[in-house]
Amino acid sequence: MTQNVLEVIGVTKAFGGLKALDDINLSVKRGTVHSIVGPNGSGKTTLFNVITGFSQPTAGKVIFKAIDLKGKKPSSITAMGMARTFQNVLLFRQMTALENVMVARHTKLRAKPYNAVIRPKWVMEEEELNRARCTELLELCGLGARAKELARNLPYGEQKRLEIARALATEPELLLLDEPAAGTPAGEIDGLLELIQKIKALGITVLLIEHKMDMVMAVSDTVSVLSFGHKIAEGTPAEVSSNPEVIEAYLGRKWLDAET
């Protein structure tokens, strides 16, 4: 087993004459929280889309668990052990919170569509085990009391956590979180930070995009900084936060003054 669960090697993504990503190299170590930060338009979500197969790179390659992902569909990549959330919440709004999570575990079940009509004992037992596991994931994400609530009726911050629970239901080795704190009330940020730490404690590697720098600095093992499609810095939170180029491009003088 290699030390790095993910390798991004020389990835470029061009849209016409515009390079959203330009020769990006990234190594994500197993069992860590690796954050990607940068101003709006720096290429962060484009990088996530390339890694997860929603977009193919113009050049370069993505290696997950020593396997080249070139040409693989998002569903295949998910089956390999990678899951993600989205910047804009994508839930089954007419389903309950529990149903949203249960649907995500369908690839882990033996039952086939015809078993909805023909329901032998083993199918019902498997369904109950699935329900129990998904209930545990809701509890992990602080949504145990919301299991029967329709997804559309949940506050936005809870919808973001439900999306995390649904991603966890696929049993990933690598979880990509795209701005999980966006829209989350300030009073709930500590809970989200604790959730990410719990996910890491389960042995799941986390690749995180986030604008809330206090949260990034508290939870990350490694931080990579993008600016206009280029990686301009990488290191520990302390190293990155004191990097003059990062301060100039993203953090700003107010961050430096606050830290000193």
Domain boundary among 136, 155, 171: 171
- C-alpha–C-alpha distance, residues 135 and 144, integer Å: 7
Give Cα separations from 87 to 44, 49, 97, 213, 221 (angstroms): 11, 11, 19, 17, 22
Retrieve residue 148's tokens. 């029967």
Beta bridge partners of 176: 84, 207
Q: Do 59 and 73 fall within a single domain?
A: yes
Query: 22-60 as b/e, with b when 16 or more CB fall inside 10 Å?
Result: bebebbbebebbbbbbbeeebbbbbbbbbbbbebebeeb
CATH number of the domain that residue 181 is part of:
3.40.50.300
Retrieve residue 8's tokens. 């991004």
pLDDT above 50 (res 93):
yes
Provide the 3-class DSSP secondary structure of residue 102: helix
- C-alpha–C-alpha distance, residues 215 and 119, integer Å: 47
Domain boundary among 107, 141, 171: 171
pLDDT at 196: 96
For the stretch 8-38, pLDDT in tens is 999 999 998 899 999 999 999 999 999 999 9
Going by pLDDT thresholds of 50, 70 and 90, the confidence category of residue 247 is confident
Mode of pairing for the β-strands spanning 222-227 and 230-235: antiparallel
pLDDT at 29: 97
For the stretch 54-66, pLDDT in tens is 999 999 999 999 9
pLDDT at 260: 41
The domain in which residue 144 lies consists of 91-171
Q: Do 144 and 209 fall within a single domain?
A: no
Long-range pairs for 199-203 at CB < 8 Å and ≥24 separation?
A: 199/164, 199/168, 199/175, 200/31, 200/32, 200/33, 203/31
Q: Do 3 and 128 fall within a single domain?
A: no
For the stretch 116-166, pLDDT in tens is 556 666 556 677 787 899 999 999 999 999 999 999 999 988 999 999 999
Q: Do 176 and 111 fall within a single domain?
A: no
Q: Which of 111, 102, 63, 104 is nearest to 83 (CA)?
A: 104
pLDDT at 255: 46
Identity of the amino acid at 109: L
The whole-model pTM stands at 0.88
Beta bridge partners of 63: 7, 68
Q: Do 241 and 226 fall within a single domain?
A: yes
Domain boundary among 171, 195, 219: 171
For the chain, the domain total comes to 2
Q: Do 189 and 236 fall within a single domain?
A: yes
Q: Do 95 and 77 fall within a single domain?
A: no
